[in-house]
Copies of this chain bind each other. A is one copy, B any other.
Amino acid sequence: MQSETARVEAFSDGVFAIAITLLILEIKIPSPDQGNLIVTLLRQWPSYLAFLLSFAYIGVMWINHHRMFTLIRRCTDALLVLNLLLLLGVTAVPFPTAVLAAHLGGPGERTAALVYNSTFVVIAIFFNLLWRYAAKHCLLQEQAALKTAQQVSVQYMVGPLMYGACLVTALFNVRASVAANVALALFFALPPTVVRKLGLGQPMDQ
């Protein structure tokens, strides 16, 4: 028998860790009869880009999940179900990533970018559902925790909006939406202290 939330975190960590590691399996190994290896490797750039974007997205999501659970005191069945809903989104990421990698630069790139960004919007919404429920029913009853939680609530609203904007951008210009994905990933990967110096706020900046 472990503490209640410890096992939820362990299971979630497992799912995050596996989803982030499976991404590499979607990159194809060039076979020796495909000609010059350097050329074949370079031609696969959409695979590397999609891998990096999805790695950044899942990684930042894990950091936020980790931070969220440092504020959570107890589990309810509903919390478990909402957490599973978030993990459903996370485990699905390798699929839209591979679709984007296979179709970027081809005739299906708009569809692929829409599928890719839709997944991220849905995950961001699931994350907000989980957080809102937890903030209402499962938090540590300390003033500091409650104040942090309020700040986080405001910041987490930004996620769905930003990925929603990328989704809408993809309707008009696929390259611009991918560039926005890259910018978002870099932005989220910056340490909060740098962000603070730049005068910006972000979900990671607890």
Q: Does chain B have a CB within 8 A of A14?
A: yes
Q: Spell out A's residues near B (CB within 8 Å).
A: 1-11, 13-27, 29-32, 36-38, 41, 51-52, 55, 59, 62-63, 66, 69-73, 76-78, 80-81, 84, 87-88, 91-92, 94-95, 98-99, 102-103, 106-108, 111-112, 115, 140, 189-193, 204-206
Residue of B nearest to A27 (CB): B95
> Contacting A26 at CB < 8 Å: which of B26, B29, B71, B193?
B29
Contacts of A88 in B (CB 8 A): 52, 55, 59
A72 to B2, CA, bound (A): 10
Count copies of this chain in the complex: 4
> Contacting A4 at CB < 8 Å: which of B70, B106, B191?
B70
Verify B95–A29 contact, CB threshold 8 A.
yes
> Contacting A9 at CB < 8 Å: which of B7, B189, B205?
B7
**Chain A contact residues: helix, strand, loop or mixed:** helix
Shortest Cβ gap from A105 to chain B (Å): 9
Contacts of A19 in B (CB 8 A): 21
A37 to B112, CA, bound (A): 8
Verify A102–B32 contact, CB threshold 8 A.
yes
Given A17-B11, A63-B77, A191-B78; A37-B84 close (CB under 8 Å): no
Question: Can you give 7 contacting A-B residue pairs, CB < 8 Å?
Answer: A1-B72, A1-B73, A10-B10, A19-B21, A21-B22, A29-B99, A77-B192
Verify A11–B13 contact, CB threshold 8 A.
yes
Verify B111–A7 contact, CB threshold 8 A.
no
Residue of B nearest to A91 (CB): B21
Contacts of A193 in B (CB 8 A): 77-78
Given A32-B107, A111-B37, A189-B81; A66-B18 close (CB under 8 Å): no
